Amino acid sequence: MRHVKFGKCVKCGREYPAVPNLTNCECGGMIDIVYDYDSIQSRFTKETLSARTDFSMWRYRELLPVEADTEAPPLRVGWSPLYEAPRLAAELGLGRLWVKDDGLNPTASLKDRASAMAVAKAREAGARVIACSSTGNAASSLAGNAAAAGLETYIFVPARAPKGKVAQLMAFGATVISVQGSYEDTFELSRQAIDHWGWYNRNAAINPYLSEGKKTVALELMEQLGWQVPDYIAISVGDGCTIAGLWKGLKDLHAIGFIDRLPRLISAQAGGCCPINRAIAEDRPWEPMAENTLADSIAVGVPRNADKALLAIRESNGLVVNLSDEEIMAAQKLLGRSCGVFGEPAGVTGTAGVAKLCRQGALGSGDTVASVVTGNGLKDVANAIAACGEPISIPSDMDRLLAAFAERGLRPA
Amino acid sequence: MRHVKFGKCVKCGREYPAVPNLTNCECGGMIDIVYDYDSIQSRFTKETLSARTDFSMWRYRELLPVEADTEAPPLRVGWSPLYEAPRLAAELGLGRLWVKDDGLNPTASLKDRASAMAVAKAREAGARVIACSSTGNAASSLAGNAAAAGLETYIFVPARAPKGKVAQLMAFGATVISVQGSYEDTFELSRQAIDHWGWYNRNAAINPYLSEGKKTVALELMEQLGWQVPDYIAISVGDGCTIAGLWKGLKDLHAIGFIDRLPRLISAQAGGCCPINRAIAEDRPWEPMAENTLADSIAVGVPRNADKALLAIRESNGLVVNLSDEEIMAAQKLLGRSCGVFGEPAGVTGTAGVAKLCRQGALGSGDTVASVVTGNGLKDVANAIAACGEPISIPSDMDRLLAAFAERGLRPA
């Protein structure tokens, strides 16, 4: 990979060759992939890019840590739609607002970007099996992307994993091991099994290539905006990998001159589980928290990628905002009725944060904001039902319909 | 619309001006939209098309029944991925096989194509409210596409409608009326309410523009195949509108010279509810059937668009194939593990049909087949769980993992 220099520990600075099965630094720190931006800039221009007809994350190959001859995995990941939301912006009192619906990826979450990258790197490593431990979208995206590529997957889930997500794993033909114990127990068994069999490791915050896949959400967002940088980009934060990837993509684009400034990040967490936001707000190291939120994908009390996430938020002079479950549920309805976008609770938390910052006066009519919806509402139907209320129930009788409407003050046009 | 001649009843041949709120013929027959292919052919070429950067159903505007200045509705509908599936083709003994995943539309089903068209025509009609009765994907796609366009929706569902689909409707801000009664009772109340308030009508098999939206799945499929026509296209069939739309798209392309022959259709129905396939197989008029299948989206005992569907299957010299629920569930796993595509039961029924016809020797190594997956598996998690089995459950203990693998004959690479 002539455009990649090396991997570098974000904690101690030690450098490693960027081999396909690179994991953490000996010091325990996360590795960041370092690019040769001069080399990239000399052969990758906006014009080169705009002529491409590959509308997937692989259109940004010059900025991705793969060999020139590495095949893109089969599922069409990325190039999710970006919608401008003028009615919602007006309702919130914002200057302009865009919503990127990343729930329209093949397995219905942003995690497909990381898993597609894992599949590409596993192939480079000559691996035939990929493994990870996860309770949700990381697992299902790995199972789907690997199945399409003809690779086997071994997935370790804690016994409490939602049945729906387990069903997705089983449909993709993964070997699923449900561990009777906590998430830590699950992770530990996956670690031992990966060591034992030498499987390719797609555990987040261990494999440094995953956030390089995730960063494509930022590359797309900026290309779809015509390289006009919004003032803010809002996203939900759990273990920290996604916001770190988002920031990496923005910095890449800035380094090669595709954008002339950097936006400020908005880190949205659940109030019941906000170790990263608390560390920022109180300007001190992060500490574990309980996991009290219905937004399961970001219920991460011990964030595994806090270092990169904290760096990203601080470097961007970012804002942090914590949301109650009620505020998250309200955002689900808000996005649905104003934009036709149905996100899972963690998926809409970024937008919930934007709405709250508008109410607080921290954002207003002078600001432009892009918000990323990270997962589809169909991933978690039970909470959607709780959030969105019940229909009008009547017999098939026109008089009863008229009465029901009158009772509710409904006046159809 | 200079490229549209008129609407014509498929039953009695009577012609009607193609006004935006056109419904059925006075004789009760469905209306088909008739185009001026000479005019279209004179200004629409493959080259014009391939230069377009709009990757949505609206890239085929010359073949769609909308005014030149009608705005495309906001959600990005269409241009779903087409995957070649060489491993699955080899497993089934087919020449070549492609799978089009239409579950990746904005509300996760092919019905978005019809609902986006309904929104466009409602705007032409100057309507601010759209209504329909439905139990599933038609309703949720209408609610989502209308919400994004700022239109109101009134949706009538029978009380038995699955909670998940109702949740999607509520999230999109629809006014949902749950009717205590059968689907016929529900339809009847929606008809009275539509008459009373003059809402725009998106009831399938009444609004003739819906299948014009659905036909874009065929236009895309052929463009994605480089206009090389496969021998067969397989799709699941419920009320008949979708297969009729598919066929209309193929005939359009043939009429304007984009393709040089027509494929044969494969109509896949559930064995427990197959009035259309039975009429073809026994060469007699269709008759109502019970609705005995878990594939809820195609559990249609009284198909409302049987006329157009029967015409399409017969004209194409098509094949019919009926699937048991077990065969449908098996296809869900087959598509998942071999292609990374997760479809709802009705969504995978077309592929189940292809697999069955291969087993029966009706399709083989000399045949090329495209199969359309019409809806996402996340729409119906309960049945996916039933279809796809349970994970291995053990404590976090390496010896127990080794024992569990040995017991199941698993030998990880």
Per-residue confidence band for B337, with pLDDT thresholds at 50, 70 and 90: very high
This prediction's pTM: 0.96
Residues of chain B contacting residue A170, judged by C-beta atoms under 8 Å apart: 333, 384-385, 388-391
Sheet holding B152-158, edge to edge: A392-395, B175-180, B152-158, B129-133, B200-201
Bridge partners (DSSP) of residue B393 are A178
B381/A186 touch (CB, cutoff 8 Å), yes or no: no
* Short-list A239, A184, A237, A250, CA closest to A350: A237
Residues in chain B: 413
Tell whether A106 lies on the interface with B, counting CB pairs under 8 A: yes
Mutation site for B-interface testing, chosen from A172, A180, A383 by largest number of B Cβ within 10 Å: A172
Residues of chain B contacting residue A159, judged by C-beta atoms under 8 Å apart: 393
pLDDT at A125 over 80: yes
* Contact (Cβ atoms closer than 8 angstroms) between residue A309 and residue A243: yes
Residues of chain B contacting residue A196, judged by C-beta atoms under 8 Å apart: 398
pLDDT of residue A213: 98
How many percent of chain B have pLDDT more than 70? 100
Bridge partners (DSSP) of residue B34 are B6
Sheet holding A319-323, edge to edge: A82-84, A96-101, A368-373, A232-236, A264-270, A319-323
Q: CA-CA distance, A80 to A136, in Å (whole number)?
A: 20
pLDDT of residue B181: 85
* Contact (Cβ atoms closer than 8 angstroms) between residue A4 and residue A34: yes
Q: CA-CA distance, B333 to B342, in Å (whole number)?
A: 8
Name the residue with tokens 């497993």: B91
How many CB contacts within 8 angstroms connect chain A with chain B?
A: 257
Instruction: Name the amino acid, one letter, at A332.
Output: Q
* Short-list B146, B139, B81, CA closest to B117: B146
Taking CA atoms, what residue in A is nearest to B174? A337
Residues of chain B contacting residue A192, judged by C-beta atoms under 8 Å apart: 398, 401
Tell me which H or E stretch contains B152. strand B152-158
Rounded to a whole number, what is the distance in Å from the CA of A328 to chain B's nearest CA? 13
Q: CA-CA distance, A338 to B141, in Å (whole number)?
A: 15
Bridge partners (DSSP) of residue B158 are B179
Q: CA-CA distance, A118 to A202, in Å (whole number)?
A: 6
The tokens of A258 are what? 């595709």
Closest CB from B144, B157, B164 relative to A340: B144
The tokens of B236 are what? 């699941």
- Model pLDDT for residues A80-89, shown as the tens digit of each residue: 999 999 999 9
Name the residue with tokens 């990127």: A100
Interface of A with B in 184-203 (CB under 8 A): 185-186, 188-189, 192-193, 196-197, 199
pLDDT of residue A170: 93
Name the residue with tokens 């949505």: B56
Cα end-to-end span (Å), chain A = 61
Q: CA-CA distance, A36 to A38, in Å (whole number)?
A: 6
Q: CA-CA distance, B152 to B199, in Å (whole number)?
A: 10
Q: CA-CA distance, B99 to A208, in Å (whole number)?
A: 33
* Short-list A51, A38, A30, CA closest to A3: A38
- Model pLDDT for residues A249-271, shown as the tens digit of each residue: 999 999 999 999 999 999 999 99
Residues of chain A contacting residue B146, judged by C-beta atoms under 8 Å apart: 340
- Model pLDDT for residues A279-301, shown as the tens digit of each residue: 999 999 999 999 898 888 898 88
Q: CA-CA distance, A306 to A391, in Å (whole number)?
A: 42
Tell whether A378 lies on the interface with B, counting CB pairs under 8 A: yes
Overall average pLDDT of the B281-285 stretch: 96
- Model pLDDT for residues A91-115, shown as the tens digit of each residue: 999 999 999 999 999 999 999 999 9
Report strand pairing: A4-9 vs A15-16: antiparallel
pLDDT of residue B330: 96
* Contact (Cβ atoms closer than 8 angstroms) between residue A134 and residue A168: no
A154/B55 touch (CB, cutoff 8 Å), yes or no: no
A391/B166 touch (CB, cutoff 8 Å), yes or no: yes
Interface of B with A in 10-39 (CB under 8 A): none
Contacts of B330 (CB under 8 A, 6+ apart): B352, B355, B387
Overall average pLDDT of the A213-226 stretch: 98
pLDDT at A319 over 80: yes
* Contact (Cβ atoms closer than 8 angstroms) between residue B5 and residue B17: no
pLDDT of residue B324: 98
**Average pLDDT across chain A, whole number:** 95
Interface of A with B in 59-78 (CB under 8 A): 74-76
Tell me which H or E stretch contains A101. strand A96-101
Report strand pairing: B31-35 vs B4-9: antiparallel
Residues of chain B contacting residue A75, judged by C-beta atoms under 8 Å apart: 81, 83, 340
Tell whether B87 lies on the interface with A, counting CB pairs under 8 A: yes
Closest CB from A177, A378, A395 relative to B391: A177
Mutation site for A-interface testing, chosen from B179, B348, B393 by largest number of A Cβ within 10 Å: B179
Taking CA atoms, what residue in B is nearest to A76? B81
Closest CB from A173, A387, A396 relative to B189: A396
Per-residue confidence band for B368, with pLDDT thresholds at 50, 70 and 90: very high
A106/B104 touch (CB, cutoff 8 Å), yes or no: yes
Residues of chain B contacting residue A397, judged by C-beta atoms under 8 Å apart: 189
B388/A199 touch (CB, cutoff 8 Å), yes or no: no
pLDDT of residue A257: 98
Overall average pLDDT of the B314-335 stretch: 97
Neighbours of B110 (CB within 10 A): 30
Per-residue confidence band for B386, with pLDDT thresholds at 50, 70 and 90: confident
* Short-list A137, A349, A81, CA closest to B112: A81
B388/A75 touch (CB, cutoff 8 Å), yes or no: no
**What's the gap between Cα A7 and its chain centre?**
22
DSSP A264: E
Per-residue confidence band for A384, with pLDDT thresholds at 50, 70 and 90: confident
| Sign for the pseudo-dihedral over CA of A360, A365, A367, A372 | positive
Q: CA-CA distance, A219 to A233, in Å (whole number)?
A: 13
Q: CA-CA distance, B47 to B227, in Å (whole number)?
A: 12
CA dihedral A253, A258, A260, A264 (to 10 degrees): -40
Q: CA-CA distance, B299 to A274, in Å (whole number)?
A: 46
B168/A377 touch (CB, cutoff 8 Å), yes or no: yes
ipTM: 0.95
Helix, strand, or coil (residue B395): strand
The tokens of B26 are what? 């006075």
Interface of A with B in 138-167 (CB under 8 A): 143-150, 152, 154, 157, 159, 163-164, 166-167
pLDDT of residue A264: 98
Q: CA-CA distance, A19 to A259, in Å (whole number)?
A: 30
Rounded to a whole number, what is the distance in Å from the CA of B62 to chain A's nearest CA? 22
pLDDT at A1 over 90: no
pLDDT of residue B38: 96
* Contact (Cβ atoms closer than 8 angstroms) between residue A351 and residue A331: yes
Tell whether A108 lies on the interface with B, counting CB pairs under 8 A: yes
Q: CA-CA distance, B225 to B208, in Å (whole number)?
A: 28
pLDDT of residue A165: 79
How many percent of chain A have pLDDT more than 90? 86
Interface of B with A in 305-364 (CB under 8 A): 332-333, 336-342
| Sign for the pseudo-dihedral over CA of B177, B181, B187, B188 | negative
Residues of chain B contacting residue A412, judged by C-beta atoms under 8 Å apart: 129, 152, 154, 175, 197, 199
Residues of chain B contacting residue A193, judged by C-beta atoms under 8 Å apart: 398, 401
Taking CA atoms, what residue in A is nearest to B389? A170
The tokens of B77 are what? 């509908």
Tell whether A290 lies on the interface with B, counting CB pairs under 8 A: no
Residues of chain B contacting residue A377, judged by C-beta atoms under 8 Å apart: 167-168, 171
A389/B186 touch (CB, cutoff 8 Å), yes or no: no
Helix, strand, or coil (residue B247): helix
Name the residue with tokens 């366009």: B149
Mutation site for A-interface testing, chosen from B197, B396, B400 by largest number of A Cβ within 10 Å: B396
Cα-flanking dihedrals φ and ψ of residue A12, to 5°?
A: -110, -10
Secondary structure of A175-228 as H, E, C letters: EEEEEECCHHHHHHHHHHHHHHHCCEECCCCCCCCHHHHHCHHHHHHHHHCCCC
Name the residue with tokens 């574990």: A288
pLDDT at B61 over 90: yes
- Model pLDDT for residues B118-146, shown as the tens digit of each residue: 999 999 999 999 999 987 899 999 999 99
- Model pLDDT for residues A329-366, shown as the tens digit of each residue: 999 999 999 999 999 999 999 999 999 999 999 999 99
Cα end-to-end span (Å), chain B = 61
Q: Half-sphere exposure of A190 toward its Cβ, with a 13 Å CA cutoff?
A: 32
B395/A147 touch (CB, cutoff 8 Å), yes or no: no
Closest CB from B148, B197, B377 relative to A171: B377
**What's the gap between Cα B186 and its chain centre?**
22
**What's the gap between Cα A185 and its chain centre?**
24
Tell whether B98 lies on the interface with A, counting CB pairs under 8 A: no
B401/A178 touch (CB, cutoff 8 Å), yes or no: no
* Short-list B173, B124, B131, B165, CA closest to B148: B173
CA distances from A68 to A1, A201, A404 (A): 7, 22, 64
Overall average pLDDT of the B361-379 stretch: 96
Per-residue confidence band for A29, with pLDDT thresholds at 50, 70 and 90: very high
* Contact (Cβ atoms closer than 8 angstroms) between residue A110 and residue A102: yes
Overall average pLDDT of the B100-111 stretch: 97
B393/A75 touch (CB, cutoff 8 Å), yes or no: no
Per-residue confidence band for A383, with pLDDT thresholds at 50, 70 and 90: confident
Residue A34, Cβ density class (10 Å: 0-12 exposed, 13-18 middle, ≥19 buried): middle
pLDDT at A68 over 90: yes
* Contact (Cβ atoms closer than 8 angstroms) between residue B131 and residue B199: yes
Instruction: Name the amino acid, one letter, at A296.
Output: D
Taking CA atoms, what residue in B is nearest to A163? B385
Per-residue confidence band for B96, with pLDDT thresholds at 50, 70 and 90: very high
pLDDT of residue B134: 87
**Average pLDDT across chain B, whole number:** 95
Q: CA-CA distance, B154 to B172, in Å (whole number)?
A: 11
pLDDT of residue A395: 95
- Model pLDDT for residues B170-203, shown as the tens digit of each residue: 999 999 999 998 877 888 999 999 999 999 999 8
Q: CA-CA distance, B5 to B364, in Å (whole number)?
A: 42
Residues of chain A contacting residue B178, judged by C-beta atoms under 8 Å apart: 391-394
A404/B177 touch (CB, cutoff 8 Å), yes or no: yes
Helix, strand, or coil (residue A368): strand
The tokens of B273 are what? 């509810």
A389/B157 touch (CB, cutoff 8 Å), yes or no: no
pLDDT of residue A351: 98
Instruction: Name the amino acid, one letter, at A51.
Output: A
pLDDT of residue A30: 93
Q: CA-CA distance, A107 to A334, in Å (whole number)?
A: 24
Angle between helix B381-388 and B325-339 (nearest 10): 80
B393/A180 touch (CB, cutoff 8 Å), yes or no: yes
